Amino acid sequence: MKSKKMLVFNLRGTLLLSYDQAIGLWCTAIKAVGLTPDFSIIFMNWDKPFRDYIIPLLAKKGSWTEEQRLLIIKKSEELFHDLNFNSLANLPQKIRELKESGYELGMITNRSLEFFEDFMADIELDANIFSFIKTGDDGIKKPNPHVFDKALEKFEAKDIVFIGGDPDIDLVAAQSGGIDFIAVESSPFPKGLFMSRGVPEQMIVKTIADFVNDMLALKKYS
């Protein structure tokens, strides 16, 4: 990939857990209570809020008690906290290195600004590191290509790349806006699916860390 001036991250799959990690942790929480997760329900509703939508569906089908449901939520909160502060602990530093190396950074999320700011505080990353932050508070959300308007005020489309993990939302937004796209593969969205949607194999990465390291190396040797 040619050198880019601005790297725009989708919150999910970058600083926020990837689809694989989120699904895996919820399933671990369910099993910790002695129950069995119904993967058909989970994967049919992967794009819905797990706590407020999928868990009630699972509880209804599995006849879970209210106590079991609350125990699952409590366990999931413990697991999410541990993962964010341990296995993902080096990612905020990598984001800082991208900024220090000369890249302009942007963040897009369909979540609220309040959620985003709280999350930034939790992982001790200054939100000001991003040249722009686009949240869903104004009603303009992915896949609407206008989510890139702030990025396009600073750079031409050819100088921007968007990193995301959802072919129906992130990829569509990038394609509609004429923005290059880096896909982060996962179990719900494997490499082959992205390739069938027109994403070149060399533009697909296994983890966000792989992408960050590639961009740091590109900047170093360019």
**Rounded to whole angstroms, what are the CA distances from 74 to 32, 114, 123?**
11, 22, 20
Question: Which CATH class, in words, describes the domain spanning 6-16+90-221?
Answer: alpha beta
CB atoms within 10 A of CB 21: 19
Cβ–Cβ < 8 Å for 19, 165: yes
Q: pTM of this prediction?
A: 0.76
Buried b (16+ CB within 10 A) or exposed e, 166-195: bbebbbbbbbebebbbbbbbbebbeeebbe
pLDDT for the residue 186: 82
pLDDT in single tens digits along all 222 residues of the chain: 667 899 999 987 666 666 667 788 889 999 999 999 998 898 888 767 778 888 999 999 999 999 999 999 888 878 776 665 554 557 788 889 999 999 999 999 988 898 888 888 877 788 899 999 999 999 999 999 999 999 999 999 999 999 998 899 999 999 999 999 999 988 778 999 999 999 999 999 988 888 888 898 887 766
pLDDT for the residue 93: 83
**220, two tokens:** 């170093």
Q: CA gyration radius for the chain?
A: 18
Nearest to 164 by CA among 121, 197, 138, 115: 197
pLDDT for the residue 49: 76
**205, two tokens:** 């990465």
- Assess whether the previous peptide bond of 143 is cis (omega < 30° from 0): yes
List residues bridging with 6 in a β-sheet: 104, 160
What gap in Å lies between CA 157 and CA 165, rounded to an integer?
20
pLDDT for the residue 18: 65
pLDDT for the residue 98: 92
pLDDT for the residue 2: 65
